[in-house]
A and B are shown apart, each in its own frame.
Chain A
Amino acid sequence: MTAKSFAQDKKDFEKFTRFFVYKSIQIIVQSRLGEKIRTKSKPFASGADWFDIGITDNNEVYTEAKKVVSNQPSTLAQNICLEISLRTAEGDTMMLELWCINLDTNQCDINAQVYRTYYNRMSIALKSLLNVSRVTPSYKLSRRQGSSEYIICYRIYTGEPHLYILGDGYQKSKVGAVPTAFGTITINVAYRTKLLISPQNTTKEMAFELKDDHFKQDNSPGRPTTPKPCSYGYRRPSTSDSDTTGQSEESCTTMFSTSPLDVPKVTGKPAPHHQSQPIKINVQHSSPVIERLPEFKTQSAPEKSPYKDCHRVGAFVQHFSENKLNESDDVPFLSLLQTKPDGQDKTNGVKLEASKGTNSTKTESSRETTESALSESKTSTSSQHSVQDDFVMVELKTPFAGVDGNSDLGKFYRECQSAPALTMCDEEQTIPETLEKLTSQIDKFETNMQDFDEFISELNIDGDSLPSEPRRSKLVDT
């Protein structure tokens, strides 16, 4: 094989693989829409009918898939995982199954001719996927879904599949395999077998992801890929067979030559999961899915996107811009930490007055500079300030700031974040000593019992007198 033809073959392979992944995702997600699907056989294929199968593309699913695939240097540089989950009306989520497409570059079929052989094998794998997607337990669940009880959601991500989410006793099956000269593409499915919802196997949304992000940034699915309802987008106009939105430049080729094919050789069984090279996922670029069912918003665990979407402003709460939310993301309750002591406010008061005179006339521009300055110093305005008082922070005289403001502020955060050590923990005591101390304390309390009783009786007197007041006022009202 010459270098040129090898490069061409590689290019073809990459192109086929990309569309193979797109069509696989379409088949799986569309099978979870809760309705029967029927496409027509056509003697003459259109440009969108990749792999000779009439799979109508759903625009939303295509966009989601494209976002994930385009973040990779090559289509299957990392595994592509598709999660199917169930979300109840109460907001509980249960992962039902996990489809995983991966490429094992160690298992190559060097006799497989590129183009028609790959194409045929991919076609067969997709047909298997069509069949198998109807036999897992979640297919039956998806057919019975309704917005009043539960809905089926999907999420696409790259990296290692998180099989532990499927609970104990999950089943794994190989769905399809495409041996090529560049490696073997396999589709695997793992599905939950215990489908009863109980507090043990349900999760409030995002609980896992926060944990994953904490331990393994690279392979985490990325926060923004919130599960999307399968049926949500499908009710919108989807692409028809002739519609090749986003694929027009790469419509499939249906012309082939009849030159004899090699007899396909069976390669060894591919490993169920390929350890892909650790290529960093650009988490920021992974698709932020904002669309959510409104009735579930309040049920989800605290996360920034729901609040962003809701635009709910609580009483006495300052309106936060999106930038500020992002900046303060890693420090919990940042606004509380930044509440200035009264004394500090007074000391800054003079400067505040002075700066008011100069800055009050400036409006938007000054606010922008304020915000950029704030982002550099990693501070944000106190929640007690009104919007008009934003420019107070122009001075950047943060509370407790010394010469090197940044380091002092950092120290201050750290002190506030970690709870101070209890004084009782300082002195180490043995158990007998502690017991002795306790007995002495009890003795002391017993001797003072008289005082305590008196104190309580005083309280009782006060308590008796207190409720009478509202009663009186009630009488006045009537």
Chain B
Amino acid sequence: MNARSHVFELSVEGRQIEEVVSTLFHSLLLHRSVGKFNYQHEGSYSVGTLGFVDEDCDFIDFTYVRVASELLSSNVKREVLTFRDALQQSASQEESGQISLEFFQKKRARWPFQPECIPWEVWTVKLDVITLSNEHERQICRERVGEMLSEKVLYIADIMNRHEYIPKTPNQSEVDLIFDTSYNDVQPYLHRITHQINGPSSSSVSTTMRKFIKDTLAL
């Protein structure tokens, strides 16, 4: 099955990395989370309520909405911070990197194999990290990144409202194959966050081949 793939490309300052990625991923997760399912008996279930929280950014003129779940929020934050640190620790001044939020569903395999993961939607954020010399440039960048995030959020809304394929609501026995049921309060679709750091000369053949093989194996 082909997964839908969307890519965002932005140029940001180092300190904006976390907020840019959090804005986009939380906007996506809000759409791709539902209230907690409570199965009454086989074939029927009730759905809990999804709360939401407004989050102001410190380094961008922007406010985004996230799902009200501390655990989900901290899980996303952990991944994003790892990505940010990896990106900033790079020796070069002009680093770039990408982080992906991938939604997938599982398919049970025969024993003793692990269930197969089939991605159905992948969102990738490619970031170029820029260094600014003065406060005036920072202010301009702060506003510009805010405007770009607005465009991206509108794009996300547009895609989400096309109502393309999302996995069917499963029976109780199969709910773990579609949703991440590890949260007590909310129930996002199964997802994972992966990242990759590229130096300035990232497009070498070996890197591309390595990535290609790695991605193939991951599927």
CB atoms of A132 and B162 under 8 A apart: no
CB distance from B41 to the nearest CB of A (A): 11
Q: Check if A260 is an interface residue, CB within 8 A of chain B.
A: yes
Residue of A nearest to B40 (CB): A255
Q: Check if B36 is an interface residue, CB within 8 A of chain A.
A: yes
Q: Check if A236 is an interface residue, CB within 8 A of chain B.
A: no
CB atoms of B163 and A41 under 8 A apart: no
CB distance from B43 to the nearest CB of A (A): 5
Residues in B whose Cβ lies below 8 Å from that of A178: 161
B40, B61, B68: which contacts A41 (Cβ < 8 A)?
B68
CB distance from A137 to the nearest CB of B (A): 9
CB atoms of B63 and A258 under 8 A apart: no
> Size class of B's contact patch?
35 or more
Q: Check if B30 is an interface residue, CB within 8 A of chain A.
A: yes
CB atoms of A255 and B44 under 8 A apart: yes
Q: Check if A127 is an interface residue, CB within 8 A of chain B.
A: yes
CB atoms of B46 and A124 under 8 A apart: no
Residues in B whose Cβ lies below 8 Å from that of A261: 168-169
B99-134 residues at the A interface, CB under 8 angstroms: none
Residue of B nearest to A55 (CB): B52
Stretch at the interface among A148-156, A169-177, A344-352, A422-430: A169-177
CB distance from A19 to the nearest CB of B (A): 14
CA distance A256 to B175 in the complex (A): 14
Residues in A whose Cβ lies below 8 Å from that of B165: 263-264
Q: Check if B93 is an interface residue, CB within 8 A of chain A.
A: no
Residues in B whose Cβ lies below 8 Å from that of A173: 154, 157
CB atoms of A135 and B154 under 8 A apart: yes
CB distance from B126 to the nearest CB of A (A): 21
Q: Secondary structure of the A side of the interface?
A: mixed
CA distance A41 to B4 in the complex (A): 29
Q: Check if A128 is an interface residue, CB within 8 A of chain B.
A: yes
CB atoms of A42 and B48 under 8 A apart: yes
Residues in B whose Cβ lies below 8 Å from that of A134: 54, 63-65, 153
Q: Check if B186 is an interface residue, CB within 8 A of chain A.
A: yes
Q: Check if B34 is an interface residue, CB within 8 A of chain A.
A: yes
CB atoms of B163 and A124 under 8 A apart: yes
CB atoms of B50 and A41 under 8 A apart: yes
CA distance A53 to B53 in the complex (A): 12
Residues in A whose Cβ lies below 8 Å from that of B52: 37-39, 53-54, 130
Interface string of B31-45 (1 = CB under 8 A from A): 100111010100111
Q: Secondary structure of the B side of the interface?
A: mixed
CA distance A54 to B30 in the complex (A): 12
> Size class of A's contact patch?
35 or more
Known: A38-B54, A41-B69, A266-B163. A132 touches B157 (CB 8 A): yes
CB atoms of A135 and B51 under 8 A apart: no
CB atoms of A41 and B160 under 8 A apart: no
B49, B53, B168, B186: which contacts A38 (Cβ < 8 A)?
B53
CB atoms of A174 and B27 under 8 A apart: no
Known: A43-B185, A124-B163, A258-B170. A132 touches B153 (CB 8 A): yes
CA distance A43 to B181 in the complex (A): 12
A36, A39, A254: which contacts B46 (Cβ < 8 A)?
A254
Known: A38-B51, A264-B165. A176 touches B44 (CB 8 A): no
Residue of B nearest to A35 (CB): B54
A126-148 residues at the B interface, CB under 8 angstroms: 127-128, 130-132, 134-136, 139-140, 143
CA distance A36 to B35 in the complex (A): 22
Q: Check if B149 is an interface residue, CB within 8 A of chain A.
A: yes
Residue of A nearest to B175 (CB): A258
Residue of B nearest to A48 (CB): B49
Residues in B whose Cβ lies below 8 Å from that of A124: 31, 160-161, 163
B47, B62, B154, B160: which contacts A254 (Cβ < 8 A)?
B47
In the A-B complex, the 5 residue pairs with the closest CB atoms: A128-B157, A41-B51, A41-B185, A135-B150, A36-B54
Footprint of B on A, CB under 8 Å? 36-46, 49, 52-54, 116, 121, 123-125, 127-128, 130-132, 134-136, 139-140, 143, 173-179, 241, 254-261, 263-264, 266
